[in-house]
Amino acid sequence: MTLDELWFLADRATQRAERAYHRLRERDGDCLEFTRQRVVSRRRFETLAERIRATGAPYGAHSVVHRESGELLLVRHEGVDMWVLPGGGVDGDESFRETARRELGEEAGVEVTYEGLAMLTRVELLHGDYRTWGVLPVFAARAETVEPTVSDPDEEISEARWFADLPADTRDREELLAWRAEAL
């Protein structure tokens, strides 16, 4: 990919992200918003910009699942060696909510009732002079069943567990604690 093609890709990705952001805000209303910045390699920038151009999201959609007790469901992602929210990439023409539901089923196997958008993060990607951004929607869900079962076809998730106190190695720990303090 030439430099001009990379700029064009970044521009198209940004346009798609803006449409996705506005659609999520119009549809799901108020939620916590965050911004995260990532400096990435050229190859990673191209990969993530392509995902954003296709869907608006570099990392798909996720679910923050809670029980009445306030416990949150996390999954152990072996690729990043951290506890994370269940979620992943958009397949085909799925909506973000459909993606979140499918990924939750694969990674934790619990039944939930979705309550709306919990968090919306603007993920800014940088490589040299190139910039783009995408959305990371996280949907709030109340657990209907509580016994997690992992059946991840990608074999990235090794365990799913409920936590009252989030482990120190929880990705986006501060954002999750802020959401729980406000929502539960």
Average pLDDT over residues 60-85: 96
pLDDT at 1 over 80: no
**Which CATH fold would you assign to the domain 3-183?**
Nucleoside Triphosphate Pyrophosphohydrolase (3.90.79)
Name the pTM for this structure.
0.94
Q: Name residue 2's amino acid.
A: T
pLDDT at 146 over 90: no
pLDDT at 28 over 70: yes
Q: How far apart are CA 157 and CA 161, in angstroms?
A: 11
If you search the block for the tokens 């009445």, which residue do you land on? 68
Confidence of residue 101 (pLDDT cuts 50, 70, 90): very high
Average pLDDT over residues 120-141: 97
High-pLDDT (> 70) share of the chain, %: 99
Nearest CA among 162, 65, 152, 62 for reference residue 107: 152
